[in-house]
A and B are shown apart, each in its own frame.
Chain A
Amino acid sequence: MDHVTIPVVDPGSAEGVLSLLWLVIALPLAGAAVLLVGGPLAGARAKGAMDRWGPWLACTAVGWSFLLSLAMFFALLGHDAEERQVGQHLFTWFEAGSLHVGMDLLYDQLSALFLLLITGVGFLIHVYSVGYMAHDARRLRFFGYLNLFVAAMLVLVLSANFLGLFLGWEGVGLASYLLIGFWQHKHSAAAAAKKAFVINRVGDIGLSLAVAVMFATFGTTDFTTISAVAGEASQGTLNALGLLLLLAACGKSAQVPLQAWLLDAMEGPTPVSALIHAATMVTAGVYLITRSNFIYEHTPLAQTAVVVVATVTLLWGAILGCAKDDIKKALAGSTMSQIGYMMLAAGLGPAGYPFAIFHLLTHGFFKANMFLGAGSVMHGMDDDVDMRHYGALRTYMPVTFLTFAMGYLAIIGFPLFSGFWSKDKIIETALAENTVVGLCALLGAGITGFYMTRLMLMTFFGDKRWEPGVHPHESPQVMTIPLIVLAALSVLGGVMIIGSWIVGWLEPVTGHAVHPEPPIAPILVTLLVVAVVAVGVAAAWFLIGRRDIPREAPAEVSFATRAARSDLYGDAINDVLVVQPGMGLARGLTTFDRAGVDGVVEGGSAAVGGISGTLRRVQNGFVRSYALSLLGGALLVVLALLAVNLG
């Protein structure tokens, strides 16, 4: 690939409003501290008062962060293009000899956009949650976790080195774990939280190994240094780094093969699904790859791997979305698929990075919008999530319906809505790079049109299929206003592409792209995409809209539907490949262990009855076997030493 020079990260010092960068993180962190520490300590009366102002405190903290981000964004706009990278040194995390790791922040064009997304959408979701969680006794803790998440996510995107990024990475993972399992009385929620944590740890292997490799290769993890010297490392090292970072991204962004946790994560409260599992955290993988462009540009192998993973995921997620009856899980499948699009763009190099970020932003708007809309629907339907029990809600919940419709039109790529611009650009770039990948992306767009239309039809149109005793109603204003704002953003998000603004804005970070000649004219691509989407929508109309929807999911279905309903056997695959062998190993070791160890314990407790003779007999036997294992170990050690050195 004939790329021009890869940009080097070289931040200037923070001045003016930009010197308040640290405050963006500090505000939500302080909010979390007050709510999480103060809540349990407060007495009964203070608790009552705190229950009232606590949620608003959380909103205020994020709100101020948003205002600061906005002010900083405009300050950055005022700078020259070369001076738009700003660094701030907070403190030295550790320093030993020549090893130096600072808590340094980096504010540049990329993190500026993320800051706006995280604090902006985060603020709206905080406000929405005030209404959504109004009757939950543990809402102080909920808002504390939510603030904690925002702070950790900001650390992730603002850190100027990979170690700080890892800190945020683990922080959002922890917050996600706590929030998925927030309704801990539900067993399924606790199990889902654990699953998410464990699968994410697998991804974290990638990131922690990558950090260690960076230390060993470059002696540092600073973006500044690595971006300058990355090209000097050996190809093997760079390939390894690229693949390790991809593994990390797969875990956090629910890409195949580490996708299985995302659908289960929908056990969390709906605002959590909107903020963490749709708009921000799950896109951290895309951020990681875009941020590490100085590594990926040197390793075509890893880039190819990214493209493959992304293509598989965008189809995988879309297929899941077609079969789910749980409204949140259908949306989660769609999230997975849309992140696949972003990863795909990120894997395409400098030509794709800006569109990856562009789609990430527009997706942040419309997906948050639809998740909150789904939450509003659930709110009105007594927390029922089964779309087969919905229907005809458009007249009962007009605001929710209209805002949801904006999100719907955006995600399927209806012309002039935000998703239209961003997805179109990705498909166009993909087609130019590789026809097969491009066609897969095109097919994905068609399936998106299908499952989103299905979701719309089942929820808002058709006949009433409500449970008896359910009285759907519109949600309070504190919930609908954020919906309206997000709907507006879903419609208008496309303005960022006017005059290729976002491409030029991100160019100093992601590098100047040499666009290969597209096989067909862009306008034809656009028309093709619209046509494919229209086919998908029409198919949904004929298959679902014109028929009656049974209240129970039909059992006699095709193999494809069955496969999609069971997450394309993602859990089964994990089970066979990882869980079973792991359990087998643990069981084997346990049997061995129990023969020697547990027997003694049980023997010991039996002997508490006072039969010291039994005790002695039991004890003798087992010490003997321990001693035997000691002897065997010693023999092994000595023989191995001799064999290695004298053999």
Chain B
Amino acid sequence: MTEFVKPDVAYFELWPLLVVFGVACLGVVVEAFAPRSARYITQALLTLAGLVAAMAGVVMIGLRFAGDGAAEDGLVHGDGAAYGLLSIGGTIVVDGPTLFLWGLLLVFGFLGALLFAERHLDGGVSAFAGQAAALPGTDAEREASTRGLDHTEVYPLLMFALFGMMLFPAANDLLTMFVALEILSLPLYLLCGLARRRRLLSQEAALKYFLLGAFSSGFFLYGAALVYGFAGSMEFGAINEAVRNDAANSGMLLVGIGLLSVGLLFKVGAAPFQAWTPDVYQGAPTPVTAFMAAGTKVAAFGAMLRLFYVAFGADRWSWQPMMWVIAVLTMLVGAVLAITQTDVKRLLAYSSVAHTGFILTGLLGVQATADLAVGEISSLQAVLFYLATYGFSTLGAFAVVSLVRDSGGEATALTRWAGLGKESPVVAGVFAFFLLAMAGIPLTSGFVGKLAVFSVALAAGAWPVVVFAVLASIVAAFLYIRVIKAMYFDEPVGDGPTVAYPSVLTATTIAIGAAATLMLGVLPGPLLDLAAVAGEFIR
């Protein structure tokens, strides 16, 4: 029997993870012991402070990695530009891309937390149900709402989800990756069902998300088992070795790759696994949708990149054709279905499906820095950059959605948005800006992001996918223009929408989203550089 060896934990490098997890646990304690009246402010401040502390950790680790003494400090240096370190017995890897993704996730988590804490829009209460246990339409619910109750458990839930998201792309074996997948998903299922308004829709979305998520996790787990059967190890490096050396049993490996990718493609909302996206995005409280849309995509694509580049990188010719087809399918389904949507949140959901397709296009690019020709960027760099641009514009767009309201809460029907340009030029203008960014108009971040993923895919010879991608972006542009036309050119129906005046929290989120979208379009250099400095995954 093998002896148990106490794993070595690199506390400094894991600091951001530990802080987020610690704050989440602390949040549960606060929930149990703090008086109800003090909970909101305690939880909100605790969450934000925890996120800032974690972000500081990411910056410090980044500086240490970039420092000259990194090699002497025992950091693993892979070949080429990869650097970083393995921790906890090789289950977690902290390298350049991990840090970049952590940074992004923490920023999006921070912006999401700001939206969570917004209480100005709905008469002094948050967007979450007063008491989730009270059945909709009962006296208990009415009482909870008249007493102005608030669910403050959402903050620890947010932090738990964020912890899972951060662990996801840092996982270095299949088991850790699966655990991370579940950690990030479970709190999100709960959060989706906590809307204050339209509770049935919200609960329905949560249940649906949960059932389908559980189903897809099953696929992932089965795939992991098959790959273990093939490679004799869960660890990515060992799988890579096995893939490189062993040709026997490749059927098992292929089925394993297929099932693993089903689990991941479900999380990013790629076709044909996109069916849940519109329902869940629409039903979930808008702050949750905003956080989930940005965070889950970043985390899941990070994990997908690591799995496919590190573990299955040697076998790329077997999985790339499948990814070609899925990327094309995803872009077309997302863009075409979005056209007929009549609800702004569903429309954004389908547009996020289309964006998934664009990011998958980037995934098809050349991976190793050494293989690059002059003037090209690596596909990892392109995808990381695209994730950043996508996250900021999506968070911003959903934050704007939460402002447009009528007596029933948020007015998400597109017809209710007609004439918004007259009602509130600023809100309509900012939303139009986000839409133009998603459409990829130059001088917005979306343009540079699309250019990056398209050119890496072209450089890798995936030109048919790029042709479809450009076609899909034309179709998508049409639907964004449709919304802009509705806001500016159409006459308002009835009283027209009202724009609620947000507190500084939502306003900050929108402002940061818009500023980042503009900056990444005008001067994308620094972030592209940062993505380049992030280097490659260590193997």
- A205 close to B (CB within 8 Å): yes
Residue numbers in B under 8 Å from A596 (CB-CB): 275
B333 to chain A, nearest CB (A): 7
- B488 close to A (CB within 8 Å): yes
Residue numbers in B under 8 Å from A590 (CB-CB): 337, 340
- B268 close to A (CB within 8 Å): no
- Find residues 602-647 in chain A having any chain B CB closer than 8 Å to their own CB: 604-605, 607-608, 610, 612, 615, 619, 622-623, 626-627, 629-634, 636-638, 640-642, 644-646
Q: Report how far A605 CA is from B532 CA in the complex, Å.
A: 48
A294 to chain B, nearest CB (A): 18
Residue numbers in A under 8 Å from B326 (CB-CB): 637
CB <8 Å contact, A619 and B208: yes
Contact of B200 among A163, A585, A604, A637 (CB under 8 A): A604
Residue numbers in A under 8 Å from B442 (CB-CB): 166-167, 170-171
Residue numbers in A under 8 Å from B282 (CB-CB): 601
Residue numbers in A under 8 Å from B279 (CB-CB): 597, 600-601
- A208 close to B (CB within 8 Å): yes
CB <8 Å contact, A184 and B251: no
- B128 close to A (CB within 8 Å): no
Q: Report how far A596 CA is from B278 CA in the complex, Å.
A: 11
Interface mask (A430-472 → B, CB under 8 Å = 1, otherwise 0)? 0000000000000000000000000000000000000000000
B282 to chain A, nearest CB (A): 7
- A560 close to B (CB within 8 Å): no
CB <8 Å contact, A630 and B474: no
- A74 close to B (CB within 8 Å): no
Contact of A646 among B251, B271, B528 (CB under 8 A): B251
Q: Report how far A608 CA is from B136 CA in the complex, Å.
A: 8
Residue numbers in A under 8 Å from B523 (CB-CB): 91, 93-94
Contact of A209 among B262, B340, B459, B470 (CB under 8 A): B470
- Find residues 377-394 in chain A having any chain B CB closer than 8 Å to their own CB: none
Among listed A19-27, A195-203, A298-306, A329-337, interface-contacting one: A195-203
Among listed A2-10, A210-218, A412-420, interface-contacting one: A210-218
- A96 close to B (CB within 8 Å): yes
- B211 close to A (CB within 8 Å): yes
Interface mask (B209-225 → A, CB under 8 Å = 1, otherwise 0)? 00110011001000000
Among listed B105-113, B154-162, B447-455, interface-contacting one: B447-455
- B204 close to A (CB within 8 Å): yes
Residue numbers in A under 8 Å from B454 (CB-CB): 208, 212
- Find residues 487-536 in chain B having any chain A CB closer than 8 Å to their own CB: 488-490, 522-525, 528-529, 531-532
- Find residues 83-117 in chain A having any chain B CB closer than 8 Å to their own CB: 91-100
CB <8 Å contact, B474 and A212: no
- A476 close to B (CB within 8 Å): no
Report, as a range, how many residues of chain B touch the other chain.
Answer: 35 or more
Residue numbers in A under 8 Å from B474 (CB-CB): 201-202, 204-205
Q: Report how far A560 CA is from B339 CA in the complex, Å.
A: 37
- Find residues 239-255 in chain B having any chain A CB closer than 8 Å to their own CB: 250-251, 254-255
Q: Report how far A597 CA is from B271 CA in the complex, Å.
A: 15
- Find residues 448-486 in chain B having any chain A CB closer than 8 Å to their own CB: 448, 451, 454-455, 458-459, 466-467, 470-471, 474, 477-478, 481-482, 485
CB <8 Å contact, B459 and A99: no
- A40 close to B (CB within 8 Å): yes
- A48 close to B (CB within 8 Å): no
CB <8 Å contact, B470 and A589: no
A148 to chain B, nearest CB (A): 12
- B257 close to A (CB within 8 Å): yes
B171 to chain A, nearest CB (A): 22
- B93 close to A (CB within 8 Å): no
CB <8 Å contact, A633 and B337: no
- B351 close to A (CB within 8 Å): no
Residue numbers in A under 8 Å from B448 (CB-CB): 94
- B414 close to A (CB within 8 Å): no
- A257 close to B (CB within 8 Å): no
B10 to chain A, nearest CB (A): 29
Residue in chain A with minimal CB distance to B262: A634
CB <8 Å contact, A585 and B278: no
Main secondary structure of the interface of A (DSSP, over half): helix
Residue numbers in A under 8 Å from B321 (CB-CB): 640, 644
- Find residues 332-361 in chain A having any chain B CB closer than 8 Å to their own CB: none
Q: Report how far A189 CA is from B343 CA in the complex, Å.
A: 25
Residue numbers in A under 8 Å from B251 (CB-CB): 642, 646
Contact of A201 among B207, B477, B531, B532 (CB under 8 A): B477
Contact of B377 among A99, A612, A626 (CB under 8 A): A99
Q: Report how far A631 CA is from B442 CA in the complex, Å.
A: 40
Residue numbers in A under 8 Å from B275 (CB-CB): 596-597, 626, 629-630
- Find residues 284-327 in chain B having any chain A CB closer than 8 Å to their own CB: 318-319, 321-322, 325-326
B412 to chain A, nearest CB (A): 11
Residue in chain B with minimal CB distance to A592: B337
CB <8 Å contact, B374 and A94: no
- B47 close to A (CB within 8 Å): no
**A96-B377 CB under 8 A given contacts A194-B485, A212-B455, A630-B216:** yes
**A94-B524 CB under 8 A given contacts A174-B441, A589-B337, A641-B255:** yes
- Find residues 323-361 in chain B having any chain A CB closer than 8 Å to their own CB: 325-326, 333, 336-337, 339-340, 343
A411 to chain B, nearest CB (A): 34
CB <8 Å contact, B441 and A94: no
Residue in chain B with minimal CB distance to A91: B523
Residue numbers in B under 8 Å from A604 (CB-CB): 198, 200-201, 204, 283
Q: Report how far A280 CA is from B259 CA in the complex, Å.
A: 56
Q: Report how far A166 CA is from B450 CA in the complex, Å.
A: 14
- B266 close to A (CB within 8 Å): yes
Residue numbers in B under 8 Å from A198 (CB-CB): 477-478, 481
Interface mask (A14-47 → B, CB under 8 Å = 1, otherwise 0)? 0000000000000000000000000010000000
Q: Report how far A637 CA is from B265 CA in the complex, Å.
A: 11
- B69 close to A (CB within 8 Å): no
Contact of A608 among B200, B259, B459 (CB under 8 A): B200
- B373 close to A (CB within 8 Å): yes
Residue in chain A with minimal CB distance to B467: A209
CB <8 Å contact, A219 and B376: yes
Give the one of A177, A630, A631 with max B CB within 10 A: A630
Residue in chain B with minimal CB distance to A92: B525
Give the one of B275, B340, B524 with max A CB within 10 A: B275
Residue in chain A with minimal CB distance to B210: A623
- B124 close to A (CB within 8 Å): no
CB <8 Å contact, B216 and A219: no
Residue numbers in B under 8 Å from A632 (CB-CB): 272
- A586 close to B (CB within 8 Å): yes
With contacts A97-B381, A600-B208, A608-B201 known, what are 16 further pairs, Cβ within 8 A? A99-B375, A190-B490, A194-B485, A197-B481, A205-B470, A220-B375, A586-B337, A600-B279, A608-B137, A612-B200, A623-B212, A626-B275, A630-B262, A638-B259, A641-B257, A641-B318
- Listed by A's residue number, 13 A-B pairs whose Cβ atoms lie within 8 Å are A40-B426, A97-B372, A98-B374, A197-B477, A219-B373, A220-B375, A593-B337, A627-B211, A631-B215, A641-B318, A641-B319, A645-B318, A646-B254
What 9 pairs across the A-B complex have the smallest Cβ distances? A219-B375, A633-B272, A190-B489, A638-B258, A96-B528, A610-B137, A216-B458, A167-B442, A634-B262
Q: Residues of B at under 8 Å CB distance from A? A: 135-137, 198, 200-201, 204, 207-208, 211-212, 215-216, 219, 250-251, 254-255, 257-259, 261-262, 265-266, 271-273, 275-276, 278-279, 282-283, 318-319, 321-322, 325-326, 333, 336-337, 339-340, 343, 372-378, 381, 425-426, 441-443, 448, 451, 454-455, 458-459, 466-467, 470-471, 474, 477-478, 481-482, 485, 488-490, 522-525, 528-529, 531-532
Q: Residues of A at under 8 Å CB distance from B? A: 40, 91-100, 163, 166-167, 170-171, 174, 177, 181, 184, 189-190, 193-194, 197-198, 201-202, 204-205, 208-209, 211-213, 215-216, 218-220, 585-587, 589-590, 593, 596-597, 600-601, 604-605, 607-608, 610, 612, 615, 619, 622-623, 626-627, 629-634, 636-638, 640-642, 644-646
